[in-house]
Structure 1
Amino acid sequence: MSEVPFHYIDLRVFCYDTEADSRVADALGHFLPEDVEIERTDSEGHLGDRIGVLSTRVERADDMRHVLDQLRDGADIEQIRDQLDERVDDNCSLFVHLDKQAAYLGDAQLGDGISLRAKVEAYPAKKDAAVENARDALAD
């Protein structure tokens, strides 16, 4: 895949008080090249518990290729491809929720924990064109 049909890819994960920050960062890092920086923002839960928000935006084509390669190598890539009509919204954004524990163990599986949002390039900016571009990007 020479061209990457995305403007950017955002990844975000919550780190709760009961979790080790380094392990949550490692789970997010599974999808990222080594030189991509992860930002941390601290927040507070309803009961006053600490919640860290780890996030990053990937905009360089090579970095986006890396994220897509990690996603493509995952166990649930066929399910993601089959559900693209539901996963791409009218604003041409692709949404995938990935299992945090599986990512920590080196796999990309659908689940809870890590949110991936990718802004799909589509001209004209229509959902159908975005779905086809996302389908091409996620093909083997």
Structure 2
Amino acid sequence: MIHNISYRLIVYGTEDEEKVLEALRNILPGAAPEREEAEGYHGNPITVLRGRITRRRALREFMESFREIFRGRMDELKDRFDDNGNLFLRLDKQEALKGKWQPVEHGDAIHLKIKVEAYPARREVAAENIKGFLE
């Protein structure tokens, strides 16, 4: 159903990195992100965590949870595809820490780019494949 999942999230200086990692792993068990130290807009220190999941078992586990959460909610996903068939989700970090998947619009979130299997790789084909998977 999916080829891979790329993820990115920011740990602000006021956050506990271990808790942010726990939130990430509640969504993507086994995630082992690379760390990059950076500077925020106002000069504050931040850590950027990013990585990619390609293992079939991990992808299958993710999709099982995805199906449980988004079954019957395709209307929330339809505008989150790009022209190449990628599905973009932002999940609230605080809710993820509690084990919940809560889509959000703001940037302080767990950013997921899900490469959906779609031939040809187009928005409509990817959306139709996800819709069929969720039904």
Normalising to structure 2: TM-score of the pair?
0.86
The number of residues matched between the two structures is: 132
Equivalent AA in structure 1 for residue 83 of structure 2: D
Amino acid at match of 1:39: E
| Structure 2: runs of 5 or more not aligned | none
Structure 1 match to 2:54: 59
Per-residue deviation, residues 44-66 of structure 1 (Å, max 9, x unmatched): 01222111111221112211112
**1:134 matched to 2:130:** yes
Distance in 1 (alpha carbons) for counterparts of 2:8 and 2:14: 18
Aligned Cα RMSD in Å? 1.8
Cα pair distance change 1:11/1:70, threshold 3 Å = farther
Distance in 2 of aligned mates of 1:100 and 1:29: 11
Instruction: Structure 1: give runs of 5+ residues left out of the alignment.
Output: none
SS at match of 1:30: helix
Deviation at 1:80, TM superposition (A): 4.8
Is 2:114 the partner of 1:118?
yes
CA deviation after TM superposition for structure 1 residue 78, in Å: 4.9
1:85 to 74, 78, 88: 78
Counterpart of 1:19 (choices 11, 15, 21) is 15
- One-letter identity of the residue aligned with 2:47: G
